[in-house]
Structure 1
């Protein structure tokens, strides 16, 4: 009988300890706050405010280029889970590579359930959002797209020089926005970017979005700056080529959480 009582006491003590242990396990968060950070490169060479105007790069066609200014806009960032549920973040993201404070983006409505996601967003503004003169901060940044070319706003301003290894370098203005078909006839030229790399969110997280500017000049259209340098804004074919090439510019980098 004593042996049975001792064994019973041991079992009860084991159960009690197990319950205490379980009570101390805190459940993981069910929601997470999300921020984004944007990094920039030219085929692996980091491009930022410190070397933007000094780095010499070579495009796919073979022209050596210098970069004076790069500014771009994306909007309607959203994370899509495995069930197809989309969580849309407010606002748009305007980045000026000369100002590193613009490399990060923390949406106002950034609380989403933990889980597995992919990221999608709009390059520039879609037709609903691309409203002429509607955004005061973009107006003050001289980001407007001319009314005679369809109005609204730029998606990209990329300026510099090419053939800089020769005695006669030339300027280029690689500007992207609404495509002008003919006088008074315009075509929306934004692109929907879908990044298929899975993003697992288990806690508050910062998602790095990487941008390779070299892709603007090579995929799928190899860009010859000797033919297409400036002006490109009223050039319908050039605008559509930019829209095609932007599809491979972005990728997912590190997820910090």
Structure 2
């Protein structure tokens, strides 16, 4: 009888230990986060299948066709609004609107504590990262910004035709990067994008970032392509206007988790 009682006690002890282990294993504290970038012209969705085939009207009334949109963002980070800790993801994101494989971004090192966050990233490269010839894939993509204009890399290449509804259509090259103040004098021209909305990460999540390309021509500077079409890279005033307008280009979309 004593032997039976001992076996029952041992069984109950092992079962309790097993239940405790299961309880501890259930509590997940980190999530994996990825980003999905979508593109539009106000209410018109844009992707590789249609962006070259649409007549679009900008804020100033010019009707345009788009030939190319390529852009760079870097230092994507999540700011924990509970404890003010920042989680910066390695790498940068180079997007080509003609290639849907470039729309998404999944950081390699990716373990974000559950909690409440705001999203932040750099438009282009900041001064520390904008180094001549430092990124082989960007060199291959012909993404370099000319040395005579400050070197480093483009932030944006946005090309097309305007006044396409007239008998005198003309090209535009809305290229953004370092701003040339004067001969040999340059000004950093990146922008810090911070989304005001706070959101909760409670599980593995995909965060949508929406890019309204029409805003490059809209806010706060209404862009007149008849005055500012090409070349804009050496134009200091144009470069600073682009830096101001990009602040309204991005918005937070759907968060799936």
TM-score (norm 2): 0.90
Residues in 1 aligned to 2:26 and 2:221: alpha-carbon distance in whole angstroms: 50
Residues in 2 aligned to 1:80 and 1:24: alpha-carbon distance in whole angstroms: 30
| Structure 2 residue aligned with 1:211 | 211
Residues in 1 aligned to 2:118 and 2:137: alpha-carbon distance in whole angstroms: 29
TM-score (norm 1): 0.90
Question: Number of matched residues?
Answer: 236
| Structure 1 residue aligned with 2:99 | 99
What RMSD in Å do the two structures reach over aligned CA positions? 1.3
Matched residue SS, 1:196? coil
String of CA shifts for 1:144-194, please: whole Å, max 9, x gaps. Answer: 000000000000000000001001100000000000000100000000000
Residues in 2 aligned to 1:208 and 1:111: alpha-carbon distance in whole angstroms: 18
| Structure 2 residue aligned with 1:4 | none
| Structure 2 residue aligned with 1:71 | 70
CA shift, 1:52, in A, is 1.2
| Structure 1 residue aligned with 2:241 | 241
| Structure 2 residue aligned with 1:3 | none
String of CA shifts for 1:32-63, please: whole Å, max 9, x gaps. Answer: 00100100000021011001110111000000
Residues in 1 aligned to 2:27 and 2:224: alpha-carbon distance in whole angstroms: 53
| Structure 2 residue aligned with 1:38 | 37
Residues in 2 aligned to 1:182 and 1:159: alpha-carbon distance in whole angstroms: 25
| Structure 2 residue aligned with 1:151 | 151
Runs of 4 or more above 4 Å deviation:
23-28
Is the 8 Å Cα contact of residues 144 and 151 (structure 1) preserved in structure 2? yes
Write out aligned runs for 1:14-33 (5 A): 27-33=26-32
